[in-house]
Amino acid sequence: MPSLLHQHPPPDLATSPTRPSLAHRSHPLSTIVVGGGLAGIATAIRLAERGVAVTLVETRKRLGGRATSFTDPATGRTLDNCQHVLMGCCTHLIDLYTRLGVADRIHWHRRLYFADARGHIDTLEADDLPAPLHMARGLLSFRMYSLTEKVAIARGMLAILRLGAAGRRHWHDRTFLQWLQQHRQPPSVIDRFWSVIVTSALNETPARASASYALQVFQEGFLAHERAYEMGLAAVPLVELYDPADQAIARAAGTVMLSTSAERFHFDGRRITALELADGRALHADLFVSTVPFDRLAKLCPPNLTQADPRLHHLDRFQVSPIIGIHLWFASPHPSPPAADLHQPFPFPHLILTQSPLHWVFNKGTDPDVAGPDHSPTQHLHGVISAAYDLVDRPAEDLTRLADAELRKAVPATRHATLVHARVVKEKRATFSIAPGTDALRPAARGPVSNLYLAGDWCNTGWPATMEGAVRSGYAAAAAALQDHSLGEPAPVPDLAPATLTRWLAR
């Protein structure tokens, strides 16, 4: 990490300080970052590295925002609200994990497991051919698609390659389903291939998702680079990934104020003058970075601020998309399995269900703390349903039954296992919906109110609602603030360079 340039005083909690002009400041630039999710952490770390005096205000007890964990009262276990997946192309998120010293807590999976309705398992893994051919042999060997279907998929992939970034942008205001239909993709391929990937990557269905973002998933995630598709999963509860952020900000003489809610910005018609907290205190600083979601930001803005800044005019126009996470603990059918792995009726690290309302199952391993009927350890599985519009209002018991039944259909080895415990987590407002036209709503980091910067996965990053998008937004806000105050430019994080053949095909 770069060395720190300055030490600085603690945040100013006075009610009306006289702030020195920024041009002649005698103390380090002070910045309040509102929100301690990935965007807030990314902003704070990048600013703190440059000697900016950062105060991060987070309403919850821990950092991490939506990518977080909670304590299940029934088992005492720390559970993730939902499995969070990253891919090899998430270069900014990987950079942040490296800065936080937690990159080794992400385990990478090169082989992806798919199941069809009859329980046939196919695997997909890159071979040594260069991108974009590295997955071709794997896909050709799939038993769940007919030859005609594989040819249709290959045709679609080639069309995506030829489109390039500019071509994708032309499709922003139309749905991915429209693109698929225009490219004569058969309904069976739409349902069992394109939809499977897009719905979990974008948390949106092909019929609702902007085509440009869906096309980007295939281009950047599968075609551009041999490692782009690799899947990273945290080997620890999500919340543990972000604890080091607190320490890193504190080491840089910054302050993290947990369990502290922001209530309202004070705006004098030109600049933000303070952030009022829910307990009535006011925090003053040179700069303010909001990293909270759009609906929370709307509540922080007084009417004169909303009016003054066009970035705040459309905060009520974002739509949201739900995700359901279902934790399941299964006991082995064998009363006393001779080997530890027999406690694990589900034999895969994960499974993508291509013809099921349950989209993914992740294997969280043997859990000695949740016992089966004979006191033996159980296997902890985690199911995920993305874009769960039709299911999110169903009772938790129904969703548990659905996940249990779908799992037993797809994986015969689980059919005789006993479901010991389940915990359903519904996130009705999991992410913003990346619908056609959404880019027109997504704000830039900078705007006319010169000391207010915006970040958050919903800002204009060119990425969908993901951890990578959140980190990109935080890095962009920090870079804008540093540039505007002549504090240098943080080194940009490069994307994975597209392979030569991919570049050539896109010409």
Q: By CB under 6 A, name the binding residues for ligand FAD.
A: 34-40, 57-60, 65-67, 81-82, 84-86, 261-262, 291-293, 296, 323, 325, 427, 430-431, 456-457, 465-468, 470
User: Closer CB to ligand FAD, residue 252 or residue 262?
Assistant: 262
- Cβ closest to ligand FAD, residue 220 vs residue 427: 427
Radius of gyration (C-alpha) of the chain in whole angstroms: 24
* 289 conformational bin, left if phi > 0, alpha if psi -120 to 50, beta if neither: beta
Q: Nearest 10 degrees: CA dihedral of 59, 80, 410, 124?
A: 100
Rounded to the nearest whole angstrom, what is the least distance from the CB of residue 275 to ligand FAD in the complex?
Answer: 9
Q: Give the count of beta carbons closer than 10 Å to the beta carbon of residue 167.
A: 14
Smallest distance, ligand FAD to C-beta of residue 66, A? 4
Provide the minimum distance between the beta carbon of 37 and ligand FAD in the complex, in angstroms, as a whole number.
2
Cβ 127 to ligand FAD shortest distance, Å:
26
Contact 42, 243 (CB under 8 A): no
Q: How far is the CB of 459 from ligand FAD (least distance, A)?
A: 8
Q: Could you tell me the smallest distance in angstroms from the CB atom of residue 264 to ligand FAD?
A: 9
Write the DSSP string, 112-167. EEEE-TT--EEEE---SSPTTSTTHHHHHT-SSS-HHHHHHHHHHHHHHHHHHHHH
Residues 6+ apart with CB under 8 A from 111: 123, 124, 125
Between 67 and 163, name the residue whose CB sits nearer to ligand FAD: 67
Least distance (Å) from ligand FAD to the CB of residue 294?
A: 10
* CA 265 to mean position of chain CA atoms: 27
Question: Mind giving me the DSSP string for 255-321?
Answer: EEETT--EEEEEE-SSSEEEEEETTS-EEB-SEEEE-S-HHHHHHH--HHHHHH-GGGTTGGG--EE
In whole angstroms, how close is the CB of 478 to ligand FAD at the nearest point? 13
C-beta of residue 420 within 8 angstroms of C-beta of residue 256:
no
Cα–chain center distance at 502: 26
Q: Shortest Cβ distance from residue 490 to ligand FAD (Å)?
A: 18
Question: Counting beta carbons within 10 angstroms of the beta carbon of residue 162, is it exposed (0 to 12), middle (13 to 18) or buried (19 or more)?
Answer: exposed
For ligand FAD, the closer of residues 86 and 283 by Cβ is 86
Comparing CB distances to ligand FAD, the nearer of 57 and 411 is 57
Q: Which is closer to ligand FAD, CB of 343 or CB of 442? A: 442
Nearer to ligand FAD, 53 or 275 (CB): 275
CA-to-CA distance for 319 and 321, rounded, in angstroms?
Answer: 7
Q: Which of 28, 227, 1, 162 is nearest to 96 (CA)?
A: 1
Q: Between 290 and 451, whose beta carbon lies closer to ligand FAD? A: 290
326's enclosing H/E stretch is strand 320-331
Nearer to ligand FAD, 128 or 279 (CB): 279
- Minimum distance from CB of 418 to ligand FAD (Å)? 27
Cβ closer to ligand FAD: 419 or 459? 459
Q: Which residues contact 52 (CB under 8 A, 6 or more apart)?
A: 28, 29, 30, 31, 481, 482, 487
